[in-house]
Amino acid sequence: QKEVEQNSGPLSVPEGAIASLNCTYSDRVSQSFFWYRQYSGKSPELIMSIYSNGDKEDGRFTAQLNKASQYVSLLIRDSQPSDSATYLCAVNTRRLTGGGNKLTFGTGTQLKVEL
Amino acid sequence: DTGVSQDPRHKITKRGQNVTFRCDPISEHNRLYWYRQTLGQGPEFLTYFQNEAQLEKSRLLSDRFSAERPKGSFSTLEIQRTEQGDSAMYLCASSPPSGSNTEAFFGQGTRLTVV
């Protein structure tokens, strides 16, 4: 079982719709969860972080965390063509000496927002 | 621009040559990470610095790879005797010193092609 699993997609949604991206993780002690957006050929860009069960909203983005189910999701409301990218789920699988976090990434879900 | 900066952005080298990449983190960030990403995969953790100390190295980091952060500011990643399997995007990230659930921000990456 992979440590962080995502459906590779592509996930196609029409413009203006809600895009729902899902991620599951295997390590129950994970504490920090992140969503990164990555455009083709570019580096990952942090868009959301979540640490507690429940929802966290930031603009059109909502991250949802359920530690009991080991599940984290990202909702994008009013999807725009500019949201078309690969969305990477990252989980801190281990605390590093000195307080850093080792992030384990999923393979990403490709989102396509169609006109 | 106060983001993470990486140089060069692209590097093409012949098999067997040595290459060195540089990363300048966000100025107030004392934690610095190197990741490697191949096509269709999420980034994989390579190594971690807190200030000038290299506190963690992945098993992915073979003896041909060495990383330094001599003054606790910029970092270099050197690959000796490059192999075609080293072709990848090399990503540097940094995070601030305070707290345990800290967000990591990536640079633009260095894309290495070994021919």
Residue B32 in contact with residue B47, Cβ under 8 Å?
Answer: no
Q: Residues A66-82: pLDDT tens digits?
A: 999 999 999 999 999 99
Are the Cβ atoms of B104 and A101 closer than 8 angstroms? yes
Amino acid at B22: R
Residue A45 CA to residue B43 CA, distance in Å, equals 12
Which string of DSSP letters, residue by residue, matches A70-113? TEEEEEESS--GGG-EEEEEEEEEEEPTTS-EEEEE---EEEEE
Q: Quick one: pLDDT band at residue B46, thresholds 50, 70, 90?
A: very high
- Alpha-carbon gap, residue A60 to A50, rounded angstroms: 15
Report, as an integer, the average pLDDT of A10-33.
94
Residue B84's SS3 state is helix
Nearest to B42 among A88, A92, A98 (CB): A88
- Average pLDDT value over all residues in chain B: 93
Q: How far apart, in whole angstroms, are the C-alpha atoms of residue B59 and residue B56?
A: 10
Measured between beta carbons, the chain A residues lying within 8 angstroms of B108 are 42-43
**Is B63 within 8 Å of chain A by CB?**
no
What's the pLDDT at B12? 98
CB pairs below 8 Å between A and B: how many? 80
